[in-house]
Amino acid sequence: MNFSLFTKKASGYECLGPSTVAEATSFSNSCDLALWKAAKYKPPTDDKFLAQWRIKHTAVLNDLALNLKNKYPSSELDLELPLQSINLCGMKLFGTPDLIRKNPEGKIFIYDAKSGKKRDWHLVQIGLYAILLQGAARAAGKRMPTIEGFGLYYSNGSKSYESLDDNPGYIAIEGDDALNKVLPDPIRQKIKDVLTIAGQSDIPKAKPSSNNCRFCKFKDGCTEAYKGTNNEVIDSSDLLLSK
């Protein structure tokens, strides 16, 4: 592994964001080495891609904020509020939810604006923002906020919707049990496993595969990366012949 291509995070600042943890709970990249590296190193950045993403994301977030303001005029909205880091299962977790809405009763709703494809782990990501919010409040000696709902707002950013419900890419999960719905017990267990692997001192074993390595941010410089195979696709049609 050529670690010199990556910037090492300073000692004591090894950390993960909710999106990385959430993605690792899904099956989109099951490589423990990629997760471990994400906790300890910064991958090379693509500034052009980031600038384009930022424009789209800001457009979607503004559309979401406008529609929430229209639907809930008595609520307070906080956009891109960095939350205090917390320690979770031996790893430092930090994050900035796109939008937090507080209703007049003080109940909290957490939203994320998404300009890319729908992913099954996006709900886990916003669930982790709730854990961050509650953990930070408790650490500061404040009452833990009641989380009453979550929303994901998908759009390509090229148009404004008339209302939240006008956007077919709007998903809301609300009610007393909302947090358990986005973070059911098996997912909570998987989060603990993910954080334990990320925080271990030994380098974990790589799991190279076409699926894992294709979009891995640490692919350049990874000697374990999947190189493809020259195996021909074997014809097995004879297995369907009746005996």
Q: By the criterion CB under 6 A, which residues form the site for ligand SF4?
A: 29, 31, 33-34, 206, 208, 212-213, 216, 218-219, 222, 224-226
For the record, the structure tokens of 193 come out as 């496993």
φ, ψ of residue 71 to 5 degrees: the values are -80, -35
If the CB atoms of residues 93 and 213 are measured against ligand SF4, the closer one turns out to be: 213
- Least spacing, CB of residue 208 vs ligand SF4, in Å: 4
The DSSP result for 33-52, as a single string, is: HHHHHHHHEEPP--HHHHHH
DSSP code at position 239: G
Residue 7 Cβ, how far from ligand SF4 at the closest point, in Å? Answer: 16
From the number of C-beta atoms within 10 Å of its C-beta (0-12, 13-18, 19+), residue 60 rates as: buried
CB of 125 vs ligand SF4, minimal distance in Å? 20
Identify which of residues 24 and 68 has a Cβ nearer to ligand SF4 in the complex: 24
Nearer to ligand SF4, 6 or 150 (CB): 6
138 or 214: CB nearest ligand SF4: 214
Round to whole Å and give the CA distance between 14 and 111: 26
User: CA-to-CA distance for 152 and 170, rounded, in angstroms?
Assistant: 6
Least distance between ligand SF4 and beta carbon 9 (Å): 16
